[in-house]
């Protein structure tokens, strides 16, 4: 069956679990749940509260919370499941995260976890910011100069081989993935 034929269809299967009762705090009949979906992003709508978070924290933490908002909005629009309330919440989160991220920008266009408190910007975070801002500008106002500054700085750190010099500290290696 073609994948498009099952897109949007979900099956919930409940079956008895043979787990030790102590691990389930002595529930009478522990069950395991298995959710099958024809859509790889099918569980997004059931877990929106975990994905839609107001960006906060240092420059890295802010971006880790910023990006899911634009990706979820893009996905919900494509499957025609976005509601005005959810869209407004996502847009507010993105606007707040964008403004907050500008606090971590260096004068040379790079970004770091603690902004000008750090001696220099970070290659990975700057690339992550440039990409995320590029995706988010479909939904919120992003000053194009911020993206140009980041790309220019990255270009100044590009080696003749095409690779980029790793500059600055990165605290969360998940940004590399």
Q: What is the pTM of this model?
A: 0.73
Q: How far apart are CA 164 and CA 141, in angstroms?
A: 29
pLDDT at position 11 is 56
Mean pLDDT, consecutive 10-residue stretches, the chain (177 aa), reads: 47 57 51 56 60 86 93 91 93 97 98 95 96 96 97 96 91 65
pLDDT at position 5 is 45
Q: How far apart are CA 37 and CA 8, in angstroms?
A: 7
Question: Residue 92 is inside which H or E element, if any?
Answer: helix 84-101
Q: How far apart are CA 120 and CA 116, in angstroms?
A: 8
Q: How far apart are CA 102 and CA 94, in angstroms?
A: 12
Q: How far apart are CA 126 and CA 149, in angstroms?
A: 10
Other C-beta atoms closer than 10 Å to the C-beta of 147 total: 18
Question: What is the DSSP code (8-state) at residue 10?
Answer: E
pLDDT at position 6 is 46
Q: How far apart are CA 73 and CA 81, in angstroms?
A: 9
pLDDT at position 45 is 57
Q: Are 64 and 132 in contact (CB under 8 A)?
A: no
């Amino acid at each position: 069956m073609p994948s498009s034929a099952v897109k949007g269809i979900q099956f919930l299967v409940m079956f008895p679990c043979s787990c030790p009762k102590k691990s389930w705090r002595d529930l009478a009949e522990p069950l395991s749940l298995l959710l099958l979906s024809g859509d790889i992003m099918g569980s997004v709508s059931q877990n929106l509260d975990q994905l839609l978070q107001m960006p906060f924290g240092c420059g890295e933490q802010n971006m880790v919370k910023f990006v899911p908002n634009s990706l979820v909005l893009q996905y919900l629009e494509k499957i025609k499941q976005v509601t005005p309330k959810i869209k407004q919440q996502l847009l507010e989160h993105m606007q707040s995260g964008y403004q907050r991220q500008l606090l971590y920008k260096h004068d040379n266009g790079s970004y770091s976890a603690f902004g000008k408190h750090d001696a220099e910007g970070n290659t990975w975070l700057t690339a992550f910011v440039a990409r995320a801002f590029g995706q988010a500008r479909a939904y919120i106002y992003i000053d194009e100069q911020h993206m140009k500054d980041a790309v220019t700085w990255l270009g100044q750190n590009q080696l003749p081989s095409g690779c980029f010099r790793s500059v600055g500290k990165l605290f969360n290696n998940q940004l590399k993935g």
